[in-house]
Amino acid sequence: MPELPEVQNFAQSIHSNYVGKKFKNIVFHRDNLRYPFEKEKLERIFASGNEFLNCYREGKQIILETSSGAVKVSLGMTGAFKAANQSDVEKHQHVTLNFKNGESLAFVDPRRFGFWKICESNEQKETSCDPLLEKDLLKLFLSETVKNKNISVKDMLMDQKLIGGIGNIYALEALFLAGILPTTRCVDLSILKWKSLAKEIPIILNLAINLGGSSISTYRSFKGDKGSFQNLHKVYGRENEKCLKSGCQGYIKRIAQSGRSSWFCPVCQF
């Protein structure tokens, strides 16, 4: 499932390649993804002559803003954007945005858990914390609602209502860098550890954004490559391998936690 770095990678690529261009039309290659397409409204937003004004990430979703409105796109489990060609439609390509200059942008989603939803002008903005901002993270972590929670720090990090866009991979990698066991209860963490965690999360996410994300299963970046952050995973998927922290003699362990795998070093994470 795409996490923040993968979503950010698509938003940046779309922004730099298409913003400022004029649409020709939107073409649907089926009637629904997770939900049915609101075709008439989408056709108005991407109508001929409308300008592509902005593309950015909000939480784990991508906002496409045109001169006639805005759409929120969720990548679901396997959604991806890619540059396309107006004459060919590939397998699992469900939506195509065509531009006046002959270019096209395709939305591909083999498992079809993604969605395209119209942004209503009176809609509330996402209220979850943006994990690229250390200051905001620290404020959240030290708030009464989080600091006193009796759930594990990893489950808290992955709660999308609190923080937008951290999933299993980046939660575990950040906890490793901050020297925190994923099973530690929020209420038991010291202020020093919270500070360290707030510092490491934006560092790891920015590194992953620059490397095009992690390719686990079907993810491909906008350029169609697999991203290369997975080569830098220090704990994720490394069961029984040696800990990569310099001087540490530990071996990475895997446990099941809240229905998913957690990897950590039992020596330097506590």
Active site residues: 2-3, 60, 260
Looking up tokens 């906008």, which residue turns up? 222
CA angle, corner 69, sides to 43 and 206, nearest 5? Answer: 110
Interface pattern 251-270 for Zn ion (x via CB under 5 A): --------------x-xx--
Query: Which of 137, 243 has the CB closer to Zn ion?
Result: 243
Min CB(269)–Zn ion separation in Å = 7
Residue 116 in tokens: 């395209």
- In the region spanning residues 218 to 247, those forming contacts with Zn ion, defined by CB under 5 A, are 243, 245
Number of residues that bind Zn ion (CB under 5 A): 7
- What b/e string do you get for 106-142 counting C-beta neighbours within 10 Å, with b at 16 or more? bbbbeebebbbbebeeeeeeeebbbbbebeebbebbe
Measure CA of the first residue to CA of the last residue in the chain; give whole Å.
28
Query: Which of 77, 267 has the CB closer to Zn ion?
Result: 267
Min CB(261)–Zn ion separation in Å = 18
Q: Which residues on neighbouring strands pair with residue 56, listed in sequence order?
A: 63
- Return d(Cα 81, Cα 166) in angstroms, integer: 20
Q: Which range touches Zn ion (CB under 5 A), out of 18-26, 153-161, 185-193, 250-258? A: 250-258
CA angle, corner 71, sides to 157 and 132, nearest 5? Answer: 30
**Pick from 250, 251, 253, 257: which binds Zn ion (CB under 5 A)?**
250
**Pick from 30, 248, 261, 270: which binds Zn ion (CB under 5 A)?**
248
Query: Which of 49, 266 has the CB closer to Zn ion?
Result: 266
The site for Zn ion (CB under 5 A) is made up of 243, 245, 248, 250, 265, 267-268
